[in-house]
């Protein structure tokens, strides 16, 4: 080892609410896995979020964004606080990072895990590839005649051919590595403009990459996710549909506490950002009850993206093992059980 230890610069952005509690556990486990697998993390603390905004009046200073661009990855906790008006941190921090760093894929795996009740949705193992920079999230629209009876509010869904195509390409390549089946989820019977573009692009890319293309309307997809989830392997969908169906997927696989996500720049021209799907959960801050599994599984996605797949598998398996033994009631108990499990993996290898 010595000089040959691989090293990665990772920004630790704990954010708000339970973000600091759960990412502390994930960070410690990443360091432990690094010792075993011969890499180290050069953590850079990045104290953005509600507290920073209330102190400085700024959400994401340009210099901080420039520093973040120079990292290998970003580990994010959660964003959002009752002390800040809705949207300020969500748009100004989380969405700005997704957009400005061009993190155009939001990868959200959903899998039935040991000991977790799936409400009858057995045989569930799919990945949602959510477009992450366009659609209704792009911010196009506005309000005119505010405060009058004629007040009009619009949100426009932006779908560019280039933006749709790069997302579908990523999903098709992932499908080719799994079972070769890709499902487009949209609402082509009503959203005929965007739906047509998504469908034509998906057909073209699927044919080129030799994957089987299936299609489901988003409402039907919700039903199938509960009644017949085995039909899905890789799902590709737009930003808002992806946001909604991944909460349903989370509910079917043990809840938001167990769900992971990666905001990816698949071209690796800059850092990708990893965050649990759950929010800042202000109602349980400081109670010690936050489940760190979603953050740990997000850290596993990060390790995989950094090129440390064996360490990623160790973290993922540790979560499975703790769940298989009945889970844990507190953040601290989770942390101890996970690190014991990781040490056990080291001994038995």
Residues contributing to the site for ligand IPM (CB under 6 A): 80, 90, 94, 243, 277
Which DSSP string corresponds to 58-80?
-SS-HHHHHHHHTSSEEEEEE--
The partner in contact with residue 90, picked from Mn ion, ligand IPM, none with C-beta cut-offs of 5 to 8 angstroms by kind, is ligand IPM
Let me know if 243 is a catalytic residue.
yes
What is the per-residue binding string for Mn ion in 225-254, x denoting contact by CB under 5 A?
A: ------------------x-----------
67, 102, 125, 247: the catalytic one is: 247
Q: Cβ of residue 107: shortest distance to Mn ion, in angstroms?
A: 14
The partner in contact with residue 94, picked from Mn ion, ligand IPM, none with C-beta cut-offs of 5 to 8 angstroms by kind, is ligand IPM
- Tokens describing residue 161: 């051919």
Q: Cβ of residue 305: shortest distance to ligand IPM, in angstroms?
A: 17
Of 243 and 304, the one with the shorter C-beta distance to ligand IPM is: 243
72, 233, 238, 243: the catalytic one is: 243
Which DSSP string corresponds to 217-275?
EHHHHHHHHHH-GGG-SEEEE-HHHHHHHHHHHHHHTT-GGG-EEEEE-TT-SS-EEEE
Let me know if 247 is a catalytic residue.
yes
CA atoms within 13 Å, Cβ hemisphere of 281: 20
Q: Cβ of residue 222: shortest distance to Mn ion, in angstroms?
A: 15
Listed in sequence order, the residues at least 6 apart from 103 whose beta carbon sits closer than 8 Å to its beta carbon are 97, 132, 133, 263, 264, 265, 272, 273
Nearest to 93 by CA among 19, 9, 11, 13: 13
The partner in contact with residue 46, picked from ligand IPM, Mn ion, none with C-beta cut-offs of 5 to 8 angstroms by kind, is none
Let me know if 187 is a catalytic residue.
yes
Q: Cβ of residue 287: shortest distance to ligand IPM, in angstroms?
A: 21
**Which residue in the shown chain puts its C-beta closest to ligand IPM?**
90
Let me know if 304 is a catalytic residue.
no
Of 81 and 328, the one with the shorter C-beta distance to ligand IPM is: 81
- What is the total count of residues that contact Mn ion (CB under 5 A)? 1
Of 238 and 320, the one with the shorter C-beta distance to ligand IPM is: 238
- Cα angle 183-188-191, degrees, rounded to a multiple of 5: 135
Alpha helical stretches, state H, the chain: 19-37, 50-56, 62-69, 88-89, 96-100, 161-177, 192-209, 218-227, 239-252, 293-306, 309-324, 331-348
Of 103 and 337, the one with the shorter C-beta distance to Mn ion is: 103
8, 16, 53, 187: the catalytic one is: 187
Q: Is 308 in the site for Mn ion (CB under 5 A)?
A: no
Please give the Cα distance from 303 to 314 (Å, whole number): 10
Of 84 and 342, the one with the shorter C-beta distance to ligand IPM is: 84
Nearest to 178 by CA among 78, 109, 241: 109
Nearest to 299 by CA among 6, 1, 14: 14
Let me know if 28 is a catalytic residue.
no
- Tokens describing residue 257: 């506490």
181-186 vs 234-237, strand pairing mode? parallel
219, 228, 267, 283: the catalytic one is: 219
Q: How many CB atoms lie within 10 A of CB 319?
A: 25
Q: Cβ of residue 336: shortest distance to Mn ion, in angstroms?
A: 30
Q: Cβ of residue 126: shortest distance to ligand IPM, in angstroms?
A: 17
- CA 321 and chain centroid, separation: 22
Of 49 and 242, the one with the shorter C-beta distance to Mn ion is: 242
Contact residues: Mn ion, CB under 5 A: 243
Q: Which residues are catalytic?
A: 137, 187, 219, 243, 247
């Amino acid at each position: 080892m010595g000089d040959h230890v691989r090293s990665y610069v990772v920004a630790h952005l704990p954010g708000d609410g339970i973000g600091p509690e759960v990412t502390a556990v994930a960070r410690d486990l990443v360091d432990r896995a690094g010792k075993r697998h011969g890499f180290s993390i050069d953590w850079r603390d990045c104290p953005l979020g509600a507290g920073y905004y209330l102190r400085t009046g700024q959400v994401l200073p340009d210099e901080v964004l420039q520093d973040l661009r120079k990292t290998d990855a970003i580990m994010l906790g959660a964003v959002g606080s009752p002390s800040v008006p809705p949207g300020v941190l969500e748009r100004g921090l989380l969405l700005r990072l997704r957009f400005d760093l061009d993190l155009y894929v939001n990868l959200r795996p959903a899998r039935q895990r040991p000991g977790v009740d799936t409400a009858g949705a057995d045989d569930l193992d799919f990945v949602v590839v959510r477009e992450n920079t366009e659609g209704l999230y792009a911010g196009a629209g506005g309000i005119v005649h505010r405060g009058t009876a004629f007040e009009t509010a619009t949100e426009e869904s932006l779908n560019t051919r280039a933006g749709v195509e790069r997302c579908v390409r990523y999903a098709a390549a992932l499908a080719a590595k799994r079972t070769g089946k890709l499902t487009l989820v949209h609402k082509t019977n009503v959203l005929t403009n965007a739906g047509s573009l998504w469908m034509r692009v998906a057909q073209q890319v699927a044919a080129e990459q030799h994957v089987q293309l299936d299609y489901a309307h988003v409402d039907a997809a919700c039903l199938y996710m509960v009644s017949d989830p085995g039909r899905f392997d890789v799902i590709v969908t737009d930003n808002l549909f992806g946001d909604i169906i991944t909460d349903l997927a989370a509910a079917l696989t043990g809840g938001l506490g167990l769900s992971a996500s990666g905001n990816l720049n698949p071209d690796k021209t800059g850092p990708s950002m990893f965050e649990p799907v759950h929010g800042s959960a202000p109602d349980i801050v400081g109670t010690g009850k936050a489940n760190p599994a979603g953050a740990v599984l997000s850290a596993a996605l990060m390790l995989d993206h950094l090129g440390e797949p064996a360490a990623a598998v160790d973290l993922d398996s540790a979560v499975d093992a703790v769940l298989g033994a009945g889970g844990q009631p507190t953040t601290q108990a989770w942390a101890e059980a996970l690190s014991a499990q990781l040490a056990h993996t080291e001994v038995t290898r």
